[in-house]
Structure 1
Amino acid sequence: FKNLQVLYINHCSLSGKIPDWLSKLPNLGMLFLQGNKLTGPIPEWISSLNFLFSLDISNNSLTGEIPSALIEMPMLESDNTAPKVFFELPVWNKNQFLQYLKPSAFPKELNLAMNNFTGMIPAAIGRLQGLFSLNLSSNRLSGEIPEQICNLTNLQMLDLSGNHLTGKIPAALSNLHFLSRFNISNNDLEGTIPNVGQFSTFPDSSFGGNQKLCGPMVANHCGSAEASSVSIDHIKQIGSEAIIFMTAFGVFFVVGVLYDQKVLSRHFG
């Protein structure tokens, strides 16, 4: 099996950790383990597969943080292609039948969706400049979207939906001119949605479920959101000042009454 280039074991009820014997396949270029019952972290030996450029381990129960080993995959760091060994590879994609004559013609992708990965998206992910597709959706990732993702200039699909991401959308993402599919819905992002470049073409569903986001493509328009925020803060400030004034007035009133009673008692006593 040392010459194996493509391994497809989707929906086969595999359980346990990602098997170590996969590390013995030095020429493996495409690995599909989608829809199984795999658990545990992504193994460190993943970076030793020097020709691996397409990895789909989505829809499992994998855990842990995104390891540095995944960022060190040589074929994803550059535009270099795998060895040109020709064969027929039928692929069904978007209801279309596609036929690739060599595995290196297949888009470079990294699909970790629908697992239980935690922690932050590592900034070093910006080194994977060969990626065409990055899917980290439906995990438990937190923190901000790293600016370094903007270095992935070949990206055509980016899905970060269904996590716990916070902060603002990096404005430089609008410079990803090949990006045709984009989804950051159902996070806790905030601020203004960039309305330039590719962002003006994405549907509102790409941004839904982020109550603090505003922009022309969502129901929450920035002007009204900011105005309402300012008015609420102003009302709170007025309320606080009124409470302070009434408290001070009450204290002085009570002191004044007690003082008057004391003076009167001395005068008429």
Structure 2
Amino acid sequence: MGTSCYNFRSNEWMQSLLGKERIGLLEFKAFLKSNCELIDNLDSWVEDGMSDCCGWDRVKCNTTSRRVVDLSLNEVISPYHKICSLNLSMFYPFEELLGLNLSGNGFYGWIHPAAFANLKFLETLDISYNDFNGNIIMGGFCGLKSLVKLGLSNNHFSGPLPQCLGNLSNLRYLDLSSNQFSGNMQSVVSKLTSIERLLLSGNNFEGLFSFSVLANHSMLELPNFNHNVVELEISNNNITGQLPKEFGLVLSNLEYINMSRNSFHGIVPFSIGEVRGLRIMDLSNNNFSGALPGSMLGNCTDLNALYLSKQLQWNDSLGILDLSENCLSGSMPSCFVSSSLRFLFLQKNSLSGSIPYVLPRNPNLMALDLRDNKFTGNIPSWINQLSQLRVLSLAGNALQGKILDKGQFETFVESSYRGNPGLCGPTIYRSCNTSQVLATPLSNDTKSEEEDEDGIDMVWFY
């Protein structure tokens, strides 16, 4: 039987009092006190010959064997401490450890390949928010076959992902975000068939990424993996490729997806409407084109935020819908109906046709930006029904006819309509009876409006 932390009060078990796990904890504390600036002094960790280390703070033991099974050593060091290099071989004694959390300490250095060799049963390892560097294969992570959760985010790990990482068949959570990983990660991801949460943002991954790898290259027989994934985060890389038409079937249980700031292209598939539990989707800063599927909002009833633009904003409910600066074409979707929708940004696309009547069903709409599209026809009079509307931009389209100057229209300025040669009315100083341009008042307000940008400044609302 392995030596435990338990304090047996007899000479016969005196050596057990100083068992290797107990000694290991005390040595770890001594190391931190000598080399780092503690914000948690681990006061309960004492060598008094009396206390049971299973009762120490941040330590959990198996209730039967009394062996240490979990060490929660996150944020024990001041963020302003001197450089503190940690020798992970100090954890060798803890052979039955299931969970190890060293996150948020700023530990520095590279991880020896044999650092975790003795932790064969480790299921959870979190060393995020430190200053570790080097590559994963050197760190010996591939040998942790029992891992369910691996958190390496916000360090300085670099290089390509080793193929052996795909052999961690039990891994359900993998966070490699905010490091310096590079290369193509597709072949590794395809092997992680138990994964539920995959966070890879803020690295230097590049190359083609085909979502067919999430179905083991078979769209007809979808493995359980497809229905397990609820969170996919691969933003801020250099990944290319298209979303397959079966995207919503492959990842039907997704709740959160962030693929922003990559080089994905092609259309947003109609199957996205099958991801009915989707709450947040961010596809911004890519090269998507084509018509936006109406099923995206019609079926995704839990959707709180949808971002496809370069100017991202946040809201608790679908109060902000920003699809600006993409290559969306065709008619404006008729599914933009939400009683909580306050800001709708569709500027700088290629949407065409008339402005649909659906908008009056958004009574709380405060800002509507449709500039720089290809809308035609008259400006609809129902805009007067939007009693909360404060900002309107229809500039840079092909609208025509007279601009009303009553009700809500009295509050909108010339810049809201400029770039529509077919429009007329006092607001833009163009007579509807002739091509005569009316005299423009030279007020300070007008000058400032002409000098100002056409865009809507969200700060104005806060």
Normalised by the size of structure 1, how large is the TM-score?
0.61
Shift of 1:154: 2.5
Task: Determine if the alignment matches structure 1 residue 39 to structure 2 residue 250.
Answer: no
Counterpart residue number, 2:123? none
Structure 1 CA distance for aligned equivalents of residues 241 and 399 of structure 2: 34
Counterpart residue number, 1:263? none
Shift of 1:212: 1.1
Task: Determine if the alignment matches structure 1 residue 142 to structure 2 residue 349.
Answer: no
Task: Determine if the alignment matches structure 1 residue 113 to structure 2 residue 324.
Answer: yes
Structure 1 CA distance for aligned equivalents of residues 368 and 258 of structure 2: 19
Counterpart residue number, 2:301? 75
Higher normalized contact order (CA 8 Å, seq sep 6+, divided by chain length)? 1
Task: Determine if the alignment matches structure 1 residue 206 to structure 2 residue 419.
Answer: no
Q: Give deviations 1:156-204, integer Å, cap 9, x for gaps.
A: 2222111111101111112112223321110000112233343322332
Cα 1:150–1:218, aligned 2, differ >3 Å: closer, same or farther? same
Cα 1:93–1:161, aligned 2, differ >3 Å: closer, same or farther? closer
Read off the aligned partner of 1:117 and give its amino acid letter.
L
Read off the aligned partner of 1:108 and give its amino acid letter.
G
Task: Determine if the alignment matches structure 1 residue 60 to structure 2 residue 286.
Answer: yes
The answer to whether the 8 A contact 2:260-2:284 is kept is yes
Structure 2 CA distance for aligned equivalents of residues 203 and 33 of structure 1: 37
Moved over 6 A (4+): none
5+ residue gaps, structure 1, are 83-91, 99-103, 230-269
Say which is worse superposed, 42-51 or 113-122, in terms of deviation: 42-51
Structure 1 CA distance for aligned equivalents of residues 279 and 425 of structure 2: 36
Counterpart residue number, 2:362? 152
Paired residue for 1:28, among 255, 261, 274? 255
Counterpart residue number, 2:433? 226
Cα 1:197–1:162, aligned 2, differ >3 Å: closer, same or farther? same
- Considering only aligned residues, what root-mean-square deviation do their CA atoms show, in Å? 3.5
Shift of 1:209: 0.6
Shift of 1:93: 8.5
The count of aligned residue pairs is 203
The answer to whether the 8 A contact 1:57-1:113 is kept is no
Identity among equivalent positions (%) equals: 31
Q: Give deviations 1:128-157, integer Å, cap 9, x for gaps.
A: 444332222111111111122222223222
Structure 2 CA distance for aligned equivalents of residues 184 and 76 of structure 1: 30
Task: Determine if the alignment matches structure 1 residue 16 to structure 2 residue 241.
Answer: yes
The answer to whether the 8 A contact 1:189-1:213 is kept is yes
Counterpart residue number, 2:371? 161
Counterpart residue number, 2:390? 180
